[in-house]
Structure formats: C-alpha cells, structure tokens
C-alpha cells in the first residue's frame, strides 16, 4: 500500500470511528465567524401562480379573469388576501410571511422573471438556472459562477449545498458544491473500503466521475466531522413535514454546523396547477401553506443568525392571468419572487406593475415581465455576497443589470 | 428524455481514448463489440454472455434482438414475475380493486371529520391537517387494496424482466419509450392506468410505426390524465348545439366539469413527444392543437367523486364509456375551424381531425430529428455526431417512422461501434443496478433493487415532470448520487439487498482472484490505478477467502469502470 493511500484511509477510519479531528472543528468554526453570509435559493418547480401568491387585489381585471380561483379582497370575507400595501395582498396561506413582511424581514418583487418567451418548463428552468435566457450552450449554472466570482472564504468542500438528489443546473460546474438530499445518509456503509474506492476514482475515472468522486470524499470527511444532522432545531422551530421543510431544516443544520456554507439550494415541487388549483383553499393553498411554514420555521430556527442569511424564491415562469377551463391556469410569463432575511429592505413590494388589462398582458394572456430575475440576484450577490461589480459580467454574461431596485438595506 | 449540454461528453471521450490507447486499437475487437452490444442493447452481460455473443457473432445477436419473437424467452420468467395476479387485470378491474376502496375511504374519512367538527372537537391546525387525513384514509384501506402495492408490483416486474428476459433489447426500448412518453404514476387515475399504459400501449408497439405508438399514447387514459387532456374542453361558444340536458350541455350548467381549454398535453405533445422545443411551432400552434384534441377523455369510474377525469351524468351517452378507457366526448369537442402548423382543419372535424393532426406530427421532419437524436443519445453517446442523427432521421422519414428500422440504422452505423463510443456513457441508476445483478449472477425479485434505484435517484414510474429522466452523465453523477452507487455496490455484493441473492459467480480456479473476477464483472477491463487500489485493499483484508472474494466483488461493482458502459 502506498503512503498516500494509507493516509487517506486511516483518516477516514478515525472519522468513521467517532473520533473528530480537532483540526476540522477549528477550521470549520473559523470559516463561519459572524458575517459568514449565506444565500439560500428555493426553486418553485412547475411554475407557481404568482398572481395568487402576491395578489393584485386593487385591479379589477384580476377578478374578471379568475371567476373561481381569485383570492378575495382584504377584509371582504374569510380567506381574503392579507393586505400588503393597499394594492397587493398575500394569499391567506402565507400568513407567516405576512408577519415577517410587517416586521420588515420579508419583501416581494412582482412581475419578475426571465425575458425569454419559452413556456416550456424544461427550457425555462434551464435558462433561469444557467443565468443565460435563450442560450443553450452555457455549461455551468449562475450560482456556480457566483461562487467563483465571490471572495473565497477558506477551502471548504461544502461551499455550496443543493438539498437534491442530483446536482441542479444552477450549481453545475461549481467547485466545492455537493448535492445531498438527506444529510444523515451522506456516508459510506463500509468505511474500510473508502480508501480503495477513493483511490480508484482519483486514479482512473474519467470526468465527470473523477471530479464528482473527489468532491464526495472531501465533503464526506468534513460532514462526518461536523455531523450537522445531529444539530437540533433551535428556538422551538417546527418544520412542516414534506420536502421543503426537510430541505430548509437541513440547510439550517449546515449553516449552524460551521462547514463553510455560502450558497444553499432547495427545490419545492407541485406548482403546475393546470386543473383545480383552488382559491383561498385547495391545491395551491396547501402548497403555499407548506412553503410559508417551512420558511417561517427556518427563520425561527436560525434566529439572530438569520441576519447573515438571505432567502430568495424563483420559478421558471408565471401562469396565465385568466383561469383555464379546469379552474386552473396554464403556462404564463411574469411571476412574483419572495425575499426573506438578512439585508433585505422588507415591508415592500418591489417592481413596476404592468397591469392585467388585455392590452397590458404579455401576448395578451400573461403577466408581463418588468424586472429581470437577474437584476434581483445581481443586487443580492453584489451587496450581500460581495461579488465585485466586475465579477458580475461573468455571473450573467452579456447582461448589464438595468435597474437597481434598492432591495438591500 | 433530454440532454442538457452537448459539451461534457468531451471528458468522457478523453477517458475512453486513454483506455483505447492502452489497448492500441483503432477499431473494436469482436470481443469488445460483444461487450459494447451487451452494454447498450442489453442491461449488461450475465456471466458467459460476452463469450456467447462473440462466438455467435455480435451482428447476428443484434439481428435476433431486433426481432424479439425469434429469441426464445426464458421459460421460467413469466412464472417468476411479481404481481402476476394484478398486472394482467384491465384498468376497470384495477379501478375496482385499487381505486374504489381509496375513494370510499376518503369519503368515509371526510364524513367522520365532519361529524367530529359538529361534535365540537377542536380542529387540527397548520400543516398537520392534510397529513392526519391522509393517514386516516390509509388506515381504512386494506394493504392488498392500496395503490402503492400495485406500483411496487409493477416496478418489481419491470426490474425482473430487465434482469432476466432473453429479449434484452426489447426491455431497453421499453425503458426508452416509457421515458420518452413519461407518465407520473401518482397522479389521480394514473395510479392504476399506468399498468395498461406499459402493457397495452407501449410494449406492443416498440417495433412498430411511430405514428401508431404516438396515437396509442394520445388515446391512452394514462397520458390523458397525466397531461390533463381528459379535462380539456371547448369554450362554451364553440361547443356543438345542445341536445337534451347533460352535465356539460352549456356554460350555465351547474357542474364541476371542464369549461374550457387546457393546453398542457398539446404543448408537451409538440415539445417532448414529437417536434422538439426548437422544432418550429408557435404558441398559436399549441392552442390550436389543444382545440383539435378537445373531447379526448377517459371514462369515469362509476362513483360520485372522480380524480383527474370528467364525470359523466347518468343520462349522457358518455356514461356508457368503460371506466378508465378512452372516450371521445363529442359535446366537449371544439367544432370550430383550426389551423395547426399551417394546415387547416375545417369546422366539424370531430375525432378524426385529432387523429389526422397526430399522424401529421408523427411524420414531421422535426419529429424525425428529435427522435433520432434522443435514440442516438441513449444508444451511442450523450452528444451524438450530427451526421449520425441526420442519417437516422432520414431513415425515419424514408420508412414512415418504422421503429425497428431506426434502431437498426443506429446500431448498423459506423458510429455505433466506433471506439469513441466504447465505454463513453455513464449508466443510469436503473442500468447500473440491473447490470450489477446480471454481472454478479444474482437472482432478484426486483423489490429491494427497486428501493436501491430510488435511492440512487431514479424511482421508476415516478418522474414528475413530463421531460422524463435525463440521459447525460453529469445528471447522474453528483457527489451524493455517487456515494449512493458505492453503497449499492457494498450491499449488493454482500447479499444485503432484500429479495436479491448474493453473488453466484463460479469460484475462481485458485491463483489470481482479482484477475478472475475482473474478467467476469468488468470484461472491458480495469485501469491499472483501479487494479492497484483493489490489490492494496486486499493486502490488508482478512485472509478468509469468502470475505476476500466479497470485498473484491464490491470494489469491482463500485469501480469507476463499472459505472460506464
């Protein structure tokens, strides 16, 4: 056995045996000194109906186009929208976010989205995650490029974590990113064989297997030492059952474990409401309740640490302004984004409202896009994640942010 | 099935070139051809397969596989398939057995909840509501009537066929077409309709003509429910004149029935099933095609509540439609004129115009290219040579979409056996798990393997988006997924997968343990680095021969070489 191999496998054996090398603990905690900021992106896959998330209750056309699925005006009845600013209101299932909004910890951007006209889930998700709408040749994801462009804090193999089974497009090509859907399962059953497996992949595997294996074993060592899955939720936070609650709970564990996390990503599915989406109650209302409870639990769990953490939701496109023949909505264009946490100037709805009358709709059917989703991320990345302005040309190639929304305090 | 990027294959190619440089080959040997055919047109070799195929001639083996009826099936296979008592039932029978009990339980649970509420019990709050109700419903349905049991049987049967059928290419193509026409099996009636979808819609047509396959999927209850066409209806002004009183007689009818267009299926029919996203259609084509297909629906289960399908009133002629079977609901069909891809469909075309539109799409050159590319990505490489795609597409058009001929065009192309394609693809989790079972000579009932495949990220029949699972290597090799594969290797080789036997390879005749097992499990050979790593590990392993052997098998199945095909 050669020396390199021996060192690797013996190191693993120590970790697997329950002995935590102090160096990992020290290294890890130094990396997450206060100020170690984290961006959490939540992708609402399937295109959430943004018009029923942030409801334009001040506009008659909203009610005219949605006879059975509109959310009633604030105060009008049970299940009414929760007023935000005298024009917009929140879906009643999002009451926990309404509380954060009133505390100034949450904000919304409406009529946001990708300028690409695609109504294909696959294409629109791909364009959004690559950060290059309309271009199919971009290999990596924009959060991966943002990690490259941001000032490096240490050498953590877990700079970014996707709480998904496979690496999402948005983090494709990232150095120091892992895809982990269950922290407690991230490990090898036969630790004695780890050394041999690692050596095989390091020595002979072609890409993408080699790079992926290297990242796996590095992350394995750090995660076994930090044991984030053993960290209990704080402040009595209770996450809802289901995928998003589980993902955000684990992101909080990763943040508090001090492994050097800078970017986290989670998926939430179930938004493609072509039929029977419901209004104040029903299919979409249940998904939104789950979303709000998960985010509220996350902010409660992290407590003061939340000042370092900014959470953003995104979705590939919005849905038709009018309901379809099945009390649902079809694929549309503009959408609403939710912003919570550190640095956000909360308590307002950002963006320029294009209106819902037929002549103001995109292709006479969908909410228009007046804020490019890249403007939202550009502001967060520069102001919060310290990506230098010059670096943004690499994050969003060929795109110059059009306007500053003033999202960040 | 979609590939996200055309570039990453470069890395793979570099790897295989290094590999081949060592062998000093610019074309594949007969043995390598046999290995390649077994990797791509089968779920990997079982012990002895490589020698057998090489001896009979790889081309002859392929030709036989292209005509599965000429390949003698393992006579014990049918008897060993899981779920034989339910997987042969009609959709109507499956509804009785797996759908009605759930509906009735749901009704009962709702009634009980209402009773409780009247009695003044405190209501449950927050997200607990739904979960509690779901658990109550579940408790009321006996295990043998739960739809989950049906899906478990279907999944296990698919795995057993993939592992054991002699008609391997057929099983590979079933996987390919089930993924091309992806249906998520936990949406409404699809919990039961998925069985007939694979058995009656896909399987009998994979060596037939594409337009027949496409039309069969368009009329399949599974697809009609999954992509919502079962609920799509003409706008009230475009409906046929009302005759008598029916549930959907007019816009004013008090009904929960559909009142307008749902374009979900029409869009995916163009984007995914036929022309491809860049195939040259517009939003107007999507909407017009959706209008053409209004009325294509599914006979409702005869209960009050229906999930995902239109409910017919007792008096309507549609009430006669068999539950869970295709029905054309004339009264929901749009009688106006439509134009799809420049072709005019005159007013009053009825069901025939939908069939004509689908046949038109099946013959479109964009469809030929889209399918050719997907098939080449599956069988040749993640980024197949454009010249090959064009040739296969031309063959598609020349043969009116003869699916046997387009597969033949791929496998008889020089690109298929080009050294650049050898070992150039990474196995999907399904391919990886089944190829391991086969390589190790294990027997399986499919059930534990199904869970393993799910843990590696590819639960069968449960891909939610209509795109199906991806085909490219980088979609399957994230760090977490790779660890799951290594864990699978450790479990499978130690007999730790429920329902799957431990490896049953003939004991090596003394001497070189690694060499003997490598020849069986990784017939294309390991790299020197992999061999060194396994030898080092063996040198410090216990001397017990059985343990040494299990360890060697584990490292071979977990090796980077075994991830590839």
Q: Do B228 and A325 touch (CB under 8 A)?
A: no
Where does residue B142 fall: left (phi above 0), alpha (psi -120 to 50 degrees), or beta otherwise? Answer: beta
Q: Indicate the pLDDT class of residue A60, thresholds 50, 70 and 90.
A: very high
- Give the closest of A139, A179, A363 to B7, CB-based: A139
Distance CA A88, CA A58 (A): 7
CB neighbour burial string for B539-565, b if at least 16 within 10 angstroms, e if fewer = eebeeeeeebbbbbbbbbbbbbbbbbb
Question: How much is the average pLDDT of A220-247?
Answer: 94
Confidence of residue A35 (pLDDT cuts 50, 70, 90): very low
Q: Are B482 and A212 inside 8 Å of each other by CB? A: yes
What is the rounded distance in angstroms from the CA atom of residue B44 to the CA atom of residue B40?
Answer: 7
User: What was the pLDDT predicted at B427?
Assistant: 98
Please say whether the beta carbons of A307 and A103 come within 8 A.
no
Rounded distance between C-alpha atoms, residue A30 and residue A22, angstroms: 12
Give the residue-averaged pLDDT of A340-368: 96
Chain A interface, best mutation among B262, B479, B518, by max A CB count within 10 A: B479
Check residue B504 and give its pLDDT: 86
Nearest chain B residue to A171, by CA = B478
Closest among A260, A54, A3 to A147, alpha carbons compared: A260
What pLDDT, on the 0 to 100 scale, is given for residue B265?
96
Give the closest-approach CA distance of B306 to chain A in angstroms: 12
Residues in chain A with CB shorter than 8 Å from the CB of B14 are 206-207
Rounded Cα–Cα distance for residues A108 and B112 (Å): 40
Q: What is the pLDDT of residue B390?
A: 98
Residues of A in contact with B521 (CB under 8 A): none
User: How much is the average pLDDT of A269-286?
Assistant: 94
- For residue range A298-348, list pLDDT tens digits in order: 999 999 999 999 999 999 999 999 999 999 999 999 999 999 998 999 999
Q: Are B473 and A176 in contact (CB under 8 A)?
A: no
A238's tokens: 């209770």
Is a pLDDT exceeding 90 seen at residue A16?
Answer: no
What does the pLDDT read at residue B478? 79
What are the 10-residue block averages of pLDDT along chain B, 565 residues in total? 43 43 72 98 97 97 97 95 96 95 88 74 39 76 95 98 98 98 93 98 98 98 95 91 52 56 94 95 96 95 53 56 90 96 97 98 98 98 97 98 98 97 97 98 97 92 89 84 93 94 81 90 96 93 86 96 97
pLDDT at A400 over 90: no
Instruction: Choose the mutation target among B190, B374, B478 for the interface with A, i.e. most A CBs under 10 Å.
Output: B478
Per-residue pLDDT at B506:
79
* Residue in B closest to A127 by C-alpha: B4
What pLDDT score was predicted for residue B309?
55
Please judge whether B480 and A240 are an interchain contact, meaning their C-beta atoms are less than 8 angstroms apart.
no
Pairing of strands A160-162, A177-179: parallel
For residues B549 and B537, give the distance between their C-alpha atoms in angstroms, rounded to a whole number: 12
Here the tokens at position B108 are 């009962």
- Please report, rounded to a whole number, the percentage of residues in chain A having pLDDT higher than 90: 73
Q: Is residue A5 over pLDDT 60?
A: no
Cβ-nearest to B491 among A122, A189, A220? A189
Question: Which of B127, B473, B533 is the closest to A208 by Cβ?
Answer: B473
Q: In the prediction, which pLDDT does A138 show?
A: 84
Specify whether the CB–CB gap between A114 and A126 falls below 8 A.
Answer: no
Report yes or no for ipTM above 0.90.
no
Distance of alpha carbon A73 from alpha carbon A63, whole angstroms: 9
Q: How far is A275 from chain B (nearest CA, A)?
A: 7
Please name the member of B277, B527, B540 whose beta carbon is closest to the beta carbon of A123. B277
- The Cα–Cα gap between B324 and B302 comes to 10
Of how many residues is chain A composed?
Answer: 409
Angle at A308 between CA A305 and CA A309, to 5 degrees: 95
Of B131, B486, B554, the CB nearest to A241: B131
- The structure's pTM equals 0.83
Question: What pLDDT does B384 receive?
Answer: 97
Q: How many residue pairs from chains A and B have C-beta atoms closer than 8 A?
A: 208
User: What residue spans of A17-141 are helical by DSSP H?
Assistant: 22-31, 60-65, 95-102, 121-130
Give the pLDDT confidence score for residue B256 in this predicted structure.
Answer: 52
Q: How far is A89 from chain B (nearest CA, A)?
A: 21
Q: For CA atoms B408, B412, B417, B420, give the dihedral sign.
A: negative
Q: How many helices (H) and strands (E) does chain B have?
A: 27, 4
Chain A: residue nearest B17 by CA? A206
Q: Contact A119/B283, CB-based, under 8 Å?
A: yes
pLDDT class of A222 with cuts at 50, 70, 90? very high
Residue A190 has what pLDDT?
Answer: 74
**Domains in chain A, start-ordered, CATH in brackets?**
3-15+38-395 (3.40.720)
């Amino acid at each position: 056995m050669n020396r390199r191999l021996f060192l690797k496998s013996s190191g693993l054996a120590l970790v697997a045996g329950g002995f935590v090398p102090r160096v990992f603990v020290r290294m890890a905690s130094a990396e997450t000194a206060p100020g170690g900021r984290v961006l959490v992106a939540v992708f609402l896959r399937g295109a959430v109906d943004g018009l029923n998330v942030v409801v334009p209750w001040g506009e008659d056309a909203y009610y005219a186009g949605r006879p059975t699925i509109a959310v009633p005006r604030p105060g009008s009845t049970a299940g009414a929208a929760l007023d935000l600013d005298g024009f917009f209101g929140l879906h009643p299932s999002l009451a926990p976010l309404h509380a954060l909004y009133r505390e100034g910890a949450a904000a919304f951007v409406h009529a946001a989205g990708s300028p690409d006209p695609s109504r294909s889930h696959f294409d629109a998700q791909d364009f959004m995650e690559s950060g290059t709408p309309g271009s199919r040749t971009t290999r990596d994801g924009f959060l991966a490029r943002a990690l490259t462009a941001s000032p490096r804090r240490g050498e953590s193999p877990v700079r970014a974590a996707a709480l998904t089974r496979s690496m999402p497009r948005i983090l494709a090509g990232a150095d120091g990113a892992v895809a982990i859907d269950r922290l407690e399962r991230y490990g090898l059953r036969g630790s004695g064989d780890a050394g041999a497996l690692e050596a095989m992949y390091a020595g002979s595997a072609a890409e993408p297997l080699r790079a992926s294996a290297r990242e796996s074993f590095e992350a394995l060592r750090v995660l076994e030492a930090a044991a984030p899955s053993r960290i209990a939720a704080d402040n009595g936070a209770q996450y809802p059952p289901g995928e998003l609650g589980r993902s955000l709970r684990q992101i909080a564990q990763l943040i508090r474990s001090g492994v050097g996390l800078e970017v986290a990503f989670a998926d939430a599915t179930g938004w493609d409401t072509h039929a029977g989406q419901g209004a104040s109650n029903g299919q979409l209302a249940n998904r939104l309740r789950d979303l709000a409870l998960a985010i509220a639990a996350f902010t409660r769990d992290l407590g003061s640490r939340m000042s370092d953490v900014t959470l953003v939701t995104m979705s590939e496109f919005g849905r038709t302004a009018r309901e379809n023949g099945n009390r649902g909505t079809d694929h549309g264009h503009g959408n609403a984004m939710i912003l919570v946490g550190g640095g956000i100037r909360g308590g307002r709805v950002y963006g320029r409202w294009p209106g819902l009358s037929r002549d103001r709709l995109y292709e006479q059917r969908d909410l228009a896009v007046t804020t490019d989703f890249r403007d939202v991320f550009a502001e967060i990345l520069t102001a919060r994640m310290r990506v230098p302005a010059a670096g943004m040309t690499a994050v969003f190639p060929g795109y110059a942010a059009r306007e500053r929304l003033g999202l960040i305090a | 099935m979609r590939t996200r990027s055309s570039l990453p294959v470069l890395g793979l190619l570099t790897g295989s070139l290094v590999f081949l440089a060592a062998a000093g080959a610019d074309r594949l040997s007969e043995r390598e051809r046999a290995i390649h055919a077994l990797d791509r047109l089968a779920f990997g070799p079982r012990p002895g397969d490589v020698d057998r195929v090489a001896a009979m001639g790889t081309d002859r083996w392929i030709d036989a596989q292209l005509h599965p009826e000429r390949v003698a099936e393992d006579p014990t296979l049918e008897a060993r398939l899981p779920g034989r008592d339910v997987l042969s039932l009609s959709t109507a029978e499956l509804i009785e057995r797996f759908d009605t009990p759930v509906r009735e339980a749901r009704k009962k649970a709702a009634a009980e909840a209402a009773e409780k509420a009247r009695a003044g019990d405190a209501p449950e709050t927050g997200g607990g509501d739904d979960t509690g109700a779901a658990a109550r419903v579940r408790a009321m349905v006996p295990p043998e009537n739960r739809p989950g049991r049906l899906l478990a049987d279907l999944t296990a049967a698919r795995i057993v066929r993939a592992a054991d059928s002699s008609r391997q290419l057929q099983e590979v193509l079933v996987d390919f077409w089930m993924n091309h026409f992806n249906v998520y099996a936990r949406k409404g009636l699809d919990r039961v309709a998925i069985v007939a979808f694979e058995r009656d819609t896909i399987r009998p047509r994979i060596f037939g003509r594409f337009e027949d396959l496409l039309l069969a999927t368009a009329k399949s209850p599974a697809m009609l429910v999954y992509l919502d066409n079962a609920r799509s209806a003409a706008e009230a002004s475009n409906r046929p004149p009302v005759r008598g009183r029916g549930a959907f007689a007019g816009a004013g009818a008090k009904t929960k029935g559909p009142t307008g267009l749902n374009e979900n299926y029409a869009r995916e029919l163009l984007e995914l099933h036929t022309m491809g996203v860049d195939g040259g259609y517009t939003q107007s084509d999507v909407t017009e095609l959706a209008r053409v297909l209004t009325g294509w629906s599914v006979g409702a289960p005869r209960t009050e509540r229906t999930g995902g399908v239109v409910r017919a009133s007792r008096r309507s002629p549609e009430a006669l439609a068999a539950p869970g079977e295709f029905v054309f609901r004339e009264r929901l069909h749009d009688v106006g004129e439509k134009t799809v891809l420049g072709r005019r469909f005159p007013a009053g075309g009825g069901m025939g115009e939908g069939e004509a539109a689908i046949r038109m799409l099946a013959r479109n050159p964009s469809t030929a290219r889209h399918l050719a590319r997907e098939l080449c990505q599956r069988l040749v490489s993640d980024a197949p040579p454009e010249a090959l795609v064009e040739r296969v597409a031309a063959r598609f058009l020349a043969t009116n979409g003869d699916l046997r001929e387009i597969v033949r065009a791929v496998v008889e192309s020089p690109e298929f056996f080009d050294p650049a394609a050898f070992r150039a693809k990474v196995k999907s989790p399904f391919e990886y798990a089944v190829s391991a079972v086969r390589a190790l000579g294990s027997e399986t009932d499919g059930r534990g393997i199904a869970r393993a495949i799910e843990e590696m990220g590819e639960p069968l029949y449960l891909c939610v988006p209509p795109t199906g699972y991806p085909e490219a290597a980088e979609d399957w090799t994230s760090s977490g997924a790779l660890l799951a594969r290594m864990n699978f290797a450790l479990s499978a080789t130690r007999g730790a997968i429920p329902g799957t036997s431990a490896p049953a390879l003939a004991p090596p005749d003394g001497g070189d343990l690694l060499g003997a097992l490598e020849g069986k499990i990784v017939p294309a050979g390991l790299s020197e680095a992999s061999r060194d790593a396994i030898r080092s590990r063996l040198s410090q392993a216990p001397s017990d021969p059985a343990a040494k052997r299990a360890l060697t098998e584990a490292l071979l199945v977990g090796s980077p070489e075994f991830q590839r095909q």
